[in-house]
């Protein structure tokens, strides 16, 4: 069977900025028949995420991420529909997902590595299982619960950087649902800031490209910052940390401003900021959602309930066609999307 697939065409280098040309669309073939335990699936949606930048390097810098190989098919979160099954628990027409879905139009996969999806849990919006009801939503929810120490009635202020992105836009809303009394987002355009406040219920949002971020933070968080959901690192995070309270908490979710630099993860703080962190007893521990998979099922059900009740607003940036996944990746790394970046492969 002839298929289309996307392979890693070139590496941007540890300090390079990814471009669409780092990926290549090509024709390939898969077997016409499947073996016992396998399923043939048609790809519907693929997820494009910031962590994938690390997989473009020969060394990902992480013990849980494997590097993509040159001229080999890339992979990540994906959703598809079963077209043929020789697995006892999966039937033709089932919707399934995997964290290691190959970037190709049709694939033969081990059925035991796939998770069956229930579209009704997300009001039929299957792509939500890659975002708000998937690993992105889990990262936001479990990050807040495990590292944020949010307590209802404690009058806590949360700041979210990268707040218009896939995880940040959910984290601010979940912070509110979990009990924060004030939520402030940091984003890169007036449009994003407006969406955060008017659509997603943030109390305020700061366009970091305009004005003085430190001054705006002091004005919007007069009682200081108790919880910081950090998606970006760098200067923005240094500014937020300098205004954090005693015994406050940093949820170290991502450091996208540092991903194109050859630095360890998490990147070390500047000496003056590290001094503040230690003096104020601010927690800053590496957070990896995969360490909390025992809480996955209950957490996904909670996310789906909030979605069904309209308490969790979801934004997606949908790109049509496998051929455009390189452009989608480049746009995401440049901060051009709002919410989750999804590539629609097949209708």
Per-residue confidence in pLDDT tens, the chain, 347 aa: 999 999 999 999 888 889 999 999 999 999 999 999 999 999 999 999 988 988 999 988 777 889 999 999 999 999 999 999 999 999 999 999 999 999 999 999 999 999 999 999 999 999 999 999 999 999 999 999 999 999 988 999 999 999 998 899 999 999 999 999 999 999 999 999 999 999 999 999 999 999 899 999 999 999 999 999 999 888 999 999 999 999 999 999 876 644 444 555 677 899 999 999 999 999 998 888 888 989 999 999 999 999 999 999 999 999 999 999 999 999 888 877 788 999 999 85
Residue 252 within a domain: yes
Residues 140 and 119 in one domain: no
Residues 145 and 127 in one domain: no
Residues 127 and 88 in one domain: yes
For residue 263, give Cα distances in angstroms to 20, 232, 255. Answer: 23, 14, 11
The CATH number given to whatever domain includes residue 110 is: 3.90.180.10
Q: Are 253 and 231 in contact (CB under 8 A)?
A: yes
Residue 272 within a domain: yes
Where are the alpha helices (H) located in 251-323, listed in sequence order? 271-279, 296-308
Residues 142 and 207 in one domain: yes
Question: What local confidence, expressed as pLDDT, does residue 305 receive?
Answer: 97
Q: pTM for this structure?
A: 0.90
Residues 54 and 101 in one domain: yes
Total domains in the chain come to 2
Residues 100 and 113 in one domain: yes
Residue 169 within a domain: yes
Q: Which domain holds residue 41?
A: 2-131+315-344
Question: What local confidence, expressed as pLDDT, does residue 255 receive?
Answer: 67
Residues 266 and 337 in one domain: no
Residue 277 within a domain: yes
Q: DSSP character for 79?
A: E
Residue with tokens 């989750």: 340
The CATH number given to whatever domain includes residue 222 is: 3.40.50.720
d(CA 274, CA 278): 6
What values do phi and psi take at 27, rounded to 5?
Answer: -85, 150
Among residues 338, 300, 319, the alpha carbon closest in space to that of 189 is found at 338
Question: What local confidence, expressed as pLDDT, does residue 62 receive?
Answer: 76
Residue 308 within a domain: no
Residues 139 and 265 in one domain: yes
Where are the alpha helices (H) located in 87-189, listed in sequence order? 135-143, 166-178
Residue 61 within a domain: yes
Residue with tokens 């780092």: 22
Residue 31 within a domain: yes
Residues 162 and 277 in one domain: yes
What values do phi and psi take at 65, rounded to 5?
Answer: -115, 125
Question: What local confidence, expressed as pLDDT, does residue 187 receive?
Answer: 94
Q: Provide, for the chain, the percentages of residues in helix, strand and coil under a 3-state DSSP scheme, each rounded to the nearest 5.
A: 35, 30, 40
Question: What local confidence, expressed as pLDDT, does residue 259 receive?
Answer: 47
Residues 127 and 143 in one domain: no
Residue 307 within a domain: no
Residues 93 and 191 in one domain: no
Residues 235 and 285 in one domain: yes
């Amino acid at each position: 069977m002839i298929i289309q697939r996307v392979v890693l065409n070139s590496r941007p280098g540890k300090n390079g900025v990814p471009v669409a040309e780092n990926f290549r669309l090509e024709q390939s073939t898969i077997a016409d028949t499947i073996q016992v335990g396998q399923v043939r699936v048609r790809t519907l949606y693929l997820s494009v995420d910031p962590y994938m930048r690390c997989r473009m390097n020969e060394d990902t810098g992480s013990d849980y991420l494997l590097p993509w190989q040159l001229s080999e098919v890339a992979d990540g979160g994906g959703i598809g529909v079963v077209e043929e099954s020789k697995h006892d628990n999966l039937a033709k027409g089932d919707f399934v997902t995997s964290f290691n879905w190959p970037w190709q139009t049709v694939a033969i996969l081990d059925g035991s590595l796939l998770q069956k999806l229930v579209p009704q849990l997300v009001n039929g919006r299957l792509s939500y299982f890659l975002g708000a009801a998937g690993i992105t939503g889990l990262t936001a929810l479990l990050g807040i619960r495990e590292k944020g120490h949010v307590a209802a009635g404690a009058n806590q202020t949360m700041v979210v950087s990268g707040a218009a992105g896939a995880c940040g836009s959910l984290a601010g809303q979940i912070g509110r649902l979990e009990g924060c009394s004030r939520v402030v987002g940091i984003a890169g355009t007036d449009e994003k800031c407006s969406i955060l406040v008017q659509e997603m219920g943030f109390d305020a949002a700061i366009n970091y490209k305009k004005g003085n971020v430190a001054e705006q933070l002091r004005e919007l968080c007069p009682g200081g910052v108790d919880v910081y959901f950090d998606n970006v690192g760098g200067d923005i995070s240094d500014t937020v940390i300098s205004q954090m309270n005693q015994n406050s908490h940093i949820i170290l979710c991502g450091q996208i401003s540092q991903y194109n630099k050859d630095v360890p993860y998490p990147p070390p703080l500047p000496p003056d900021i590290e001094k503040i962190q230690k003096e104020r007893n601010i927690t800053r521990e590496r957070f990896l959602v995969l360490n909390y998979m025992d809480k996955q099922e209950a957490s996904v059900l909670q996310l789906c309930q909030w979605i069904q009740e309209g308490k969790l607003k979801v934004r997606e940036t949908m790109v049509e066609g496998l051929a455009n996944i390189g452009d989608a990746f480049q746009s995401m790394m440049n901060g051009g999307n709002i919410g989750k970046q999804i590539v629609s492969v097949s209708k």
